Structure formats: C-alpha cells, structure tokens
Amino acid sequence: MKPITVKETEVSIIIINEKDYISLTDMVRNIQNGLSLIEKWLRNKNTIEFLGIWEEMYNSDFNSLEFEGIKSEAGLNRFILSVKQWTEKTNSKGIIAKAGRYGGTYAHKDIAFEFASWVSPEFKLYLLKEFQRLKEEEHKQIGWSAKRELANINYHIHTDAIKQNLIPLELKPEQISIVYANEADVLNMALFGITAKYWRDENPQLKWNIRDYATINELICLSNMENINALLINEGIPQKERLIKLNQIAIQQMRILQNVENRKLLN
C-alpha cells in the first residue's frame, strides 16, 4: 500500500491478514527522541488496559494470563515493557515489530490512532484525514478494476464475433492478429478518437496501453460498445458504417454518464 504524508511526515501502511497496520515508528521519526515515545506509551497503565481489551475482542489466541501479570505491574516505577516483550508474552496481534526494508513498530489502525492521539491530537486528526483519503482512492480503484474486468469479459464476446464473421479460414496467424487489432482500433477510434499505435507513439513514457489509462466512464462505454460492435458484425454491417454508428453511441453514452456523475456531485 502507498504511504501517506501527515504534516510532512511519511507514514507507511502495510496489510496483515487483510487489515491495515500503520507504522508507529514513522509517526515519531521526526520527533526528537521519538522512538523512546513508543516504549513510554507502552509503560502507561491506560495503554496496557486499552491494548488488552482490543486483543480480547479480536485475538482468540491472546494470552490473558500473561496480560493480567503485565497489567498488575503497569504504573510502577520499575515497570519496563518493549514491543517485543509485549508480543512474545501475550501473543498479541494488534502491535508487531517488523524487520527488513519496511521495518519498525506497526499497529492495527485502531491502536495506531490511539497512539497518535497520545502523541499529538493535531497529528491524529491529520492522520485520520489522510488515511480516509487513501481509503477513498482505494475504493475508486476497486471500481475501476471491476469495470476493466467487465470490459475484458466483453472483449471475448467481441473477438468471437470477429472470429466467426471476419476471419477467413485461409488467413495466417499474423494476418489474423492484424484483423483483431484493426477491429480493436475501430472501438478505440469511436471512443478515444485515436488508434492504439498512435497513442503509444504519443505516450512512450507510459507502460501500458490506452485502455489501462481510461476513466471508469470510458470503460463502461467501452464495455457496451464491444457488445454492440459484436452484434453489428454478426449482422454483416461494413466496418466504415459501424465506426460511424459506434462513435455516435460513444458520444451519447459518455454524455449520459457525465450527466449522472455531475448529479451525484451536486447531491
């Protein structure tokens, strides 16, 4: 997952068992003697109680007996507790010490927000804001991926129509590839106004193809057009006529999709 920047501090986020874990180490990296704050926070009796409640709620393997011993010692002047000691003694899952490239102390987001509040209420608010922004971006990406997958499924309907109607049996493999590419560019021209080759020539710095950089609305439209073009091919309509018709459909559908999006923004 991408890191987030909170008040000029880059904070890493990793996924463990499909849950978000935020780096406590990164949170205090720009604070003088910041790393000592993590152990200082762990020595706090309220912190121990909070961690124990969280673990008992979400961790069936939590060692409650060891936890009770730690809790009884918390608050005493002689009490010292490191992240490693906490995890080894209690088999906790809420906080982990990670080695390697992205090493440091990570905590489940519930616990990380609690730590951020203890360090600085202002920092916590900015952390929440940036974390929420990241989640919203992820949801948009999930939506885009779903539409891209739908377009890929309809692609097979499209290519089957091409295979059944436009490819003579005597064609060689390289000639068949040209036919498929040519029909794909019918859709590209109708929707984007350019061919795949022209787009690649104009964007040599980009890794993927034109459709991988399409918007969600464009992917919805593309998916519909693949089905429509397959029907037109099956009906024997010439390519030139299909291109004109598909372009008209693309303009109409993109206008409708944009109006729907605008209404959502207004609401």
Q: Assess whether 191 and 222 both reside in one domain.
A: yes
Q: Answer whether residue 261 shows pLDDT above 90.
A: no
Q: Answer whether residue 158 shows pLDDT above 70.
A: no
Q: Answer whether residue 95 shows pLDDT above 90.
A: yes
Tell me the CA end-to-end span of the chain in Å, nearest whole number.
Answer: 31
Any domain includes 135: no
Residue ending a domain, choose from 59, 88, 119: 119
Q: Assess whether 158 and 241 both reside in one domain.
A: yes
* Rounded Cα gap, residues 164 and 160, in angstroms: 6
The CA–CA distances, whole Å, from 31 to 21, 38, 215 equal 21, 12, 41
Domain extent at residue 228: 140-266
Q: Assess whether 14 and 89 both reside in one domain.
A: yes
Q: Assess whether 9 and 108 both reside in one domain.
A: yes
- Residues 8 and 95 sit within 8 Å (Cβ to Cβ): no
Domain count, the chain: 2
Range 116-144 average pLDDT? 78
Q: Assess whether 70 and 35 both reside in one domain.
A: yes
Q: Answer whether residue 212 shows pLDDT above 70.
A: yes
- pLDDT bucket at 29, cuts 50 / 70 / 90: confident
Any domain includes 129: no
Q: Answer whether residue 151 shows pLDDT above 80.
A: no
Rg over CA atoms, the chain: 28
Q: Answer whether residue 207 shows pLDDT above 80.
A: no
Q: Assess whether 145 and 253 both reside in one domain.
A: yes
Structure tokens at 51: 């961690």
